[in-house]
Structures are given as structure tokens and as C-alpha cells.
């Protein structure tokens, strides 16, 4: 049976009728049309469905929409302000850390969460912070370079 939940997505409050078995990923993509969040595996292994829930990175394919009642969600669509990219997004672009782009929303959100918690990560910490995000194109080097660059621009501010 559908139930009503309140969900703040990228700063905007939505009232949504959701089925119990709908995941946060299902609702973001299918009810709200926010298709930036990707489904790779659906079972927690690839990280492409990563979003920030109350500021923390989670896998939207393994969270029920109902579990998020009253909470705040940030998806890739909610990062840039007036078309201005965040330092992480800009660094991914500048370093060529995007190829097919399927992993990119999850990577960018995981990297954003990492830098929020640890603004000066070592390379080992970057790898640990992104261990849950698979990329089948870049070979990861460009992504790690991008996170280092983003950390520099974070810290210059």
C-alpha cells in the first residue's frame, strides 16, 4: 500500500506517495525524474547510485524511500549553484576524469563526502574513500588526480 512521505531533495520539499518496496533510487529516478543517479548493480557493489542522505554518502539502491521520511537528500543535480560547478565537478572536468560518465555522479558525490570529512586526504585515503565506486573506463588514475586537484582548490578557499 502506498504511503505519503516528505522528502527534501536538493533543497526542495516534496510530498510523495511511495510503495514500501520502492528504493530511494526508484523514487529519485522514476518519480522525480532525477536520472543523474545511476543504477549499476542494484545490490550495493558499484556505488553508481551514491547520494548524500543527511549529508552522508549512501547507496540509494539499498535504502527504502520510506526510510528517508523527513530527511534531506542531495543528488548530483543538486551540487552546482546557478550553473557554477563545485570544485570537485570542475576538477573532474579539468583532469579528464570522465569517460562514459556512468560512474561519475556517484564518484563526484563520494569524493565530495570524502573532502567534507577530510579536506586534505592522502592518496591512500582517497583510494579508501572511493573504494565503493567502480569505474570501468578511466583506470582510476584521472579520478584520483581530480580529487587531489579538488582538495587543493577546496583548501585555497
Partner 1 sequence: MHLPKFDYERLTSAEEAGRLLGRYGGDARLVAGGTDLFPRMKYGLLRPRVILDMKGLSVKSPEVNGDGNLRLGAMTSLAGLARDPLVREKAPLLAEAALGVGSVQVRERATLGGNICLETRCLYYNQSHTFQFTQACFKRGGDLCYLVPGGKKCLAVFCADTVPALISLGASIGIGGPGGVRRILLEKFYTGDAVQPLAISPTELVTEVIIPARPRIGGEAFAKFSVRGGVEFAAVTAAVALRMESDGATCSAAVITVGAVSPAPRRARKAEEALQGKRLSPELFGESARIAAGEISPLPHHGFSAPYLRECLEVQIRRALEAVAKRVRS
Ligand X SMILES: Cc1cc2nc3c(=O)[nH]c(=O)nc-3n(C[C@H](O)[C@H](O)[C@H](O)COP(=O)(O)OP(=O)(O)OC[C@H]3O[C@@H](n4cnc5c(N)ncnc54)[C@H](O)[C@@H]3O)c2cc1C
Q: Which residues are near ligand FES by CB under 6 A?
A: 39-42, 44-49, 59, 61, 98-104, 135-138
The answer to whether 27 touches 49, Cβ cutoff 8 Å, is no
Residue 63 interacting entry, from partner 1, ligand FES, ligand X, none, C-beta within 5 to 8 Å by type:
partner 1
> Is residue 131 at the binding interface for ligand X, with CB under 6 A as the rule?
no
The answer to whether 88 touches 112, Cβ cutoff 8 Å, is yes
Closest approach of Cβ 92 to ligand FES, in Å?
10
Alpha carbon distance 42, 78 (integer Å): 22
> Is residue 45 at the binding interface for ligand X, with CB under 6 A as the rule?
yes
Nearer residue to partner 1 within complex by CB, 39 or 94: 39
Nearer residue to partner 1 within complex by CB, 43 or 156: 43
Alpha carbon distance 104, 109 (integer Å): 8
Alpha carbon distance 139, 9 (integer Å): 32
Site of interaction with ligand X (CB under 6 A): 44-45
Amino acid at each position: 500500500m502506498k504511503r505519503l512521505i516528505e522528502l527534501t531533495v536538493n533543497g526542495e520539499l516534496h510530498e510523495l506517495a511511495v510503495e514500501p518496496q520502492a528504493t530511494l533510487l526508484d523514487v529519485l529516478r522514476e518519480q522525480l525524474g532525477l536520472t543523474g543517479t545511476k543504477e549499476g548493480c542494484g545490490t550495493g557493489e558499484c556505488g553508481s547510485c551514491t547520494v548524500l542522505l543527511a549529508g552522508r554518502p549512501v547507496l540509494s539502491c539499498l535504502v527504502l524511500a520510506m526510510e528517508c521520511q523527513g530527511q534531506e537528500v542531495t543528488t548530483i543535480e543538486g551540487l552546482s549553484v546557478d550553473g557554477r560547478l563545485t570544485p570537485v565537478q570542475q576538477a573532474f572536468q579539468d583532469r579528464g576524469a570522465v569517460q562514459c560518465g556512468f560512474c561519475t555522479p556517484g564518484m563526484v558525490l563520494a569524493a565530495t563526502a570524502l573532502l567534507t570529512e577530510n579536506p586534505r586526504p592522502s592518496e591512500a585515503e582517497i583510494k579508501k574513500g572511493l573504494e565503493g565506486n567502480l569505474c570501468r573506463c578511466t583506470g582510476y588514475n584521472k579520478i584520483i588526480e581530480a580529487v587531489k586537484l579538488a582538495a587543493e582548490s577546496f583548501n585555497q578557499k
